[in-house]
Amino acid sequence: MPVRIPDSHSTAGAAYTYIVRAASCVFGAALEPIMSFTQPPASAHLSPPGVSLPKVTMPALAEMKRQGKPISALTAYDYPTARLADEAGIDLILVGDSLAMVVLGHENTLAVTVDEMLHHTRAVHRAVRRALVVADMPFGSYHGAIAEALSSAVRFVKEAGAEAVKIEGPRVELVRALVEAEIPVVGHLGLTPQSVHRMGGYRVQARTAEAARRLRADALALAQAGAGAIVLEGVPREAAAEITAALPIPTIGIGAGPGCDGQILVFHDLVNLTFAPPAKFVRRYADAAALFRSAIERYREDVEHRAFPSDAESYHLPARQAMGAAAPDADFDSDNAVVNRDAFEDWTN
């Protein structure tokens, strides 16, 4: 998790428009209208017939390491961004506890709860077809008894569709217990943001040869306990490269240089939705803040100048149905006049 000033208003938004058919129209004329609403039907996201997506699994990540294929990973916390990441071919989508900061506006990752993480993991799971979905176990959910940690992890798999969980620190016994319970685990070593108070801030870790050797020993222990991959965060690139070479499982780096088997970034860092200067390791690929700000400002101006909506964006009464006319609404079909998001008809004349 990158070092950042908390951002309180950073929830990304997105909308989808779908064209569907409606069966009838209010005033009796047979129409085949265009319908637009903001939530796609579940069926809209199925692969075309005959196309099967090669699902990314934990063993597939190990195979990518063997073949020297870089693993792309990104965080996502909601349906639209997870769907975009998946459709863009990202291999691993992490529902990171960074959501506490970048989505919920907390100062650090410590406050987010299991229930909040489950809520967002479900949304991501609904969007993803190909990528491996990994859920972060939040602070406090795995720091006590192993049995308690196990039952929290089971919830992520059973209730939210996670295919692996991520835990911070060299918790070898817990990793072993999770793997024995058939729950794949991604470890997380180096700068572990849930240890912010112990570390005294977000600091690059393993800066001496001795500390780097300890980190390598921890990584090997996690691999031996059955972890399927390890996130290495905030460590010198030389240490990360050596650890990567020593490990039989993939490393996924964030602020750990180019020598890891894969890379992960926080979605909001990638597209500039963090309201803070980026950390050194972040590369901004887009300026969503500028894009969204300008769209919202133009919308507000249009509303204020009565330039939105236009006539073309309005529904019309048929010419024969002037509101002042005395004629009864003989052909008004009240059943079809119900306006709701699932059946919103186009009343064009």
Residues identified as active-site: 233
Residue 219 touching ligand KIV (CB under 6 A):
no
Residue 98 touching ligand KIV (CB under 6 A):
yes
Residue 233 touching ligand KIV (CB under 6 A):
yes
Residue 12 touching ligand KIV (CB under 6 A):
no
For residue 264, report the phi and psi dihedrals to the nearest 5 degrees.
-130, 145
**Whole-number Cα distances in Å, 6 to 31, 109, 192, 333:** 50, 10, 17, 53
Number of neighbouring beta carbons within 10 Å of residue 206:
25
Determine the residue type at 83.
R
Long-range contacts of 47-54 (CB under 8 A, 24+ apart): 47/129, 53/129, 53/130, 54/130
Query: Where are the extended beta strands (E) located within 126-261?
Result: 132-136, 164-168, 185-190, 229-233, 251-254
Q: Which is nearer to ligand KIV, 31 or 262 (CB)?
A: 262
Residue 261 touching ligand KIV (CB under 6 A):
no
Report d(CA 149, CA 160) in Å as an integer. Answer: 16
233: which 2 tokens?
Answer: 């965060």
Q: Which is nearer to ligand KIV, 96 or 226 (CB)?
A: 96
Q: Which is nearer to ligand KIV, 31 or 189 (CB)?
A: 189
Q: Which is nearer to ligand KIV, 231 or 249 (CB)?
A: 231
Residue 133 touching ligand KIV (CB under 6 A):
no
Residue 272 touching ligand KIV (CB under 6 A):
no
Residue 274 touching ligand KIV (CB under 6 A):
no
Residue 254 touching ligand KIV (CB under 6 A):
yes
Among 132, 266, 270, 288, binds ligand KIV (CB under 6 A): 266
Among 136, 163, 218, 345, binds ligand KIV (CB under 6 A): 136
17: which 2 tokens?
Answer: 């428009």
Instruction: List contacts with ligand KIV (CB under 6 A).
Output: 1, 75, 94, 96-98, 136, 231, 233, 254, 264, 266
